[in-house]
Amino acid sequence: MLDNQEQYINSLKKIKEVEENVQKEIDNYRKEISEKISQLDPDLKNAIASAKTEGEKLVESSIERSRKKATTETEKIIEEAKTKAGNISSQIMPQNTKEIIDILLKGVE
């Protein structure tokens, strides 16, 4: 019976030993992961800041391209309007000239 008790006690000691070893491994792994997270934190902050800066640059360049495109289109519309206005003036002028001459000639009679 004493032999059985000793075996039981030895088994409990081995179980306890294994539990302690496993707990040490878990603690070491937690510590290792915590250190890796601490190391990644600054890198993530830098990546976020870099992405934000890049995004702001993209927005600014997009706005500038849109502004240039709008300016070009506006200038084109203005030039077309000037051309059309000139064409309309030249079409009206001969008609007006004839009317003016008719009016002047009627005044002479």
Q: Is 70 within the bounds of a domain?
A: yes
Would you state the structure tokens that stand for residue 14, as one six-digit string?
């081995």
Q: How far apart are alpha carbons 94 and 84 in whole angstroms?
A: 16
Q: Is residue 74 part of a domain?
A: yes
Give me the pLDDT at residue 1, please: 66
Encode pLDDT of 13-30 as tens digits.
999 999 999 999 999 999
| CA nearest to 95, candidates 107, 103, 83 | 103
Tokens 């992961």 found at: 33
Total count of domains within the chain:
1
Q: Residues 41-77: pLDDT tens digits? A: 898 999 999 999 999 999 999 999 999 999 999 999 9
Is the pTM value of this prediction over 0.85?
A: no
User: Per the domain annotation, does 97 fall within a domain?
Assistant: no
Q: Where are the alpha helices (DSSP H) in 1-109?
A: 2-108
Q: Is residue 96 part of a domain?
A: no
> What pLDDT is stored for residue 89 in this prediction?
63
Domain that holds residue 38: 1-81
Backbone CA torsion sign across 47, 50, 56, 58: negative
